[in-house]
Chains A and B, each alone.
Chain A
Amino acid sequence: AQSVSQHNHHVILSEAASLELGCNYSYGGTVNLFWYVQYPGQHLQLLLKYFSGDPLVKGIKGFEAEFIKSKFSFNLRKPSVQWSDTAEYFCAVNPFGNQGGKLIFGQGTELSVKP
């Protein structure tokens, strides 16, 4: 079945460690890609998005993601995490080109950063 997969359910890191969260999708054709973050007790916020152009996308708070079309992947990275990055991270895909705004979300990855 077509889906969005996030490989890690829970990641635990120490401050200053590097982060990479995996996201793979199984849709063919044109896709638009998003990473959202949900801090404890807060609503989802957009971190970054990719529509076209440079496959390396920079977002807020030092996050970036790389779209690798051949691997159907859109992994999220940050060189050095902070305690304040503790949150749940969701990858989302719009697989419908220009046909609508329906987002398909991954299951989410909970990131815990130890001070």
Chain B
Amino acid sequence: DAGVIQSPRHEVTEMGQEVTLRCKPISGHNSLFWYRQTMMRGLELLIYFNNNVPIDDSGMPEDRFSAKMPNASFSTLKIQPSEPRDSAVYFCASSLGSGGSTDTQYFGPGTRLTVL
């Protein structure tokens, strides 16, 4: 079985440009999570969805960030406009259940974003 799939794996862009990161969760999983990993702040949850509905977006840093999950097999994280401080590795994870506290989250390989 394929795990969580993320694309692109690497993205280099210039400040001010729009960036779209993509995630395909494991088939049958009901919850999807977006994380950001930086040296300064470690791994932070940005937002998570259950059954395609955003449940908690309190980690989204600002209005420049938006996330959508139009169907059970696809989610996007968009940054517009991008800034150098957005440079990080962005991970997507999915879990089988309703996103409950005992669910195991399965992580994708991440997208390394560099904003120049």
Interface residues of A (CB under 8 A from B): 32, 34, 36, 42-46, 49, 51, 90, 92, 94, 96-108
Q: Mark B72-116, 1 if CB is under 8 A from A, else 0.
A: 000000000000000000010101011111111111111000000
Interface size on B, residues (CB 8 A): 30
Task: Assess whether B42 is in contact with A96, with CB atoms less than 8 Å apart.
Answer: no
Q: Which of A32, A42, A92, A106 lies in contact with B102, CB distance below 8 A?
A: A32
A-B contact pairs, 30 of them (CB 8 A): A32-B102, A34-B104, A43-B4, A43-B91, A43-B109, A43-B110, A44-B91, A44-B93, A46-B106, A49-B102, A49-B104, A90-B43, A92-B43, A94-B102, A97-B101, A98-B102, A100-B48, A100-B99, A101-B31, A101-B33, A101-B50, A101-B95, A101-B99, A101-B100, A101-B103, A102-B48, A102-B56, A104-B45, A106-B42, A107-B42
Instruction: Give bound CA distance, A24 to B45, whole Å.
Output: 19
By a CB distance below 8 angstroms, the chain B residues around A36 are 107
By a CB distance below 8 angstroms, the chain A residues around B12 are none
Distance in Å: Cβ of A56 to nearest Cβ of chain B: 18
Instruction: Give bound CA distance, A107 to B37, whole Å.
Output: 10
By a CB distance below 8 angstroms, the chain A residues around B100 are 98, 100-101
Question: Which of B31, B43, B55 lies at the interface centre, i.e. has the most chain A CB atoms within 10 A of its CB?
Answer: B43
When A43-B91, A44-B91, A103-B45 are in contact, do A94 and B104 touch as well, CB less than 8 Å? no
- Using a CB-CB cutoff of 8 Å, which residues 45-87 of chain B contact chain A? 45, 48, 50, 55-56
By a CB distance below 8 angstroms, the chain B residues around A44 are 91, 93, 107
Distance in Å: Cβ of A55 to nearest Cβ of chain B: 16
By a CB distance below 8 angstroms, the chain A residues around B109 are 42-43
By a CB distance below 8 angstroms, the chain B residues around A46 are 104-106
Task: Assess whether A100 is in contact with B102, with CB atoms less than 8 Å apart.
Answer: no
Instruction: Give bound CA distance, A94 to B93, whole Å.
Output: 15
By a CB distance below 8 angstroms, the chain A residues around B33 are 101, 103
Instruction: Give bound CA distance, A58 to B33, whole Å.
Output: 26
Instruction: Give bound CA distance, A49 to B95, whole Å.
Output: 14
